[in-house]
């Protein structure tokens, strides 16, 4: 069994903690209610109609299904985004999105909340 690829912990941690120690900015922040920032993209192969990746936050190994038209062995790109919610001007990390791309087309996404 091959090793499951994972994302760079330092890149992820930097985004996860990006907005720590914010001051409450009532009425001053025009951020969207929910938004995501890209942490990293990695290359991996499609196997058995899915891609598997090791995720941070103790989520562990997860596999994401891809459409049937994507052949096994295809090289895919999995991109990890940190999802935030803005509450009273404070940006709080609420989970992660993992989107899979094949031939520069988004073919699947999965959300993992905390």
Instruction: Tell me the whole-structure pTM to 2 decimals.
Output: 0.85
User: What pLDDT score was predicted for residue 87?
Assistant: 85
Around Cβ 61, how many Cβ atoms within 10 Å?
10
Q: For residue 51, which of 35, 30, 75 has the smallest C-alpha distance? A: 75
User: What pLDDT score was predicted for residue 21?
Assistant: 81
- Mean pLDDT over 7-27 rounds to 83
Angle at 13 between CA 11 and CA 109, to 5 degrees: 75
Is 99 a residue whose pLDDT tops 60? yes
- Mean pLDDT over 67-89 rounds to 94
Q: What is the pLDDT of residues 51-64, one digit of tens each?
A: 999 999 999 999 99
Instruction: Report the C-alpha gap between 63 and 102 in whole angstroms.
Output: 15
């Amino acid at each position: 069994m091959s090793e499951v690829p994972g994302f760079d912990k330092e890149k992820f941690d930097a985004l996860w903690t990006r907005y720590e120690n914010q001051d409450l900015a009532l009425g001053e922040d025009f951020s969207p209610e929910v938004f995501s920032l890209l942490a990293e993209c990695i290359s991996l192969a499609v196997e058995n109609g899915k891609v598997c990746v090791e995720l941070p936050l103790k989520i562990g190994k997860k596999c994401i299904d891809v459409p049937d038209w994507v052949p096994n062995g295809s090289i895919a790109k999995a991109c990890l985004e940190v999802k935030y919610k803005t509450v009273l001007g404070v940006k709080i990390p609420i989970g992660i999105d993992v989107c899979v791309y094949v031939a520069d087309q988004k073919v699947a996404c999965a959300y993992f909340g905390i």
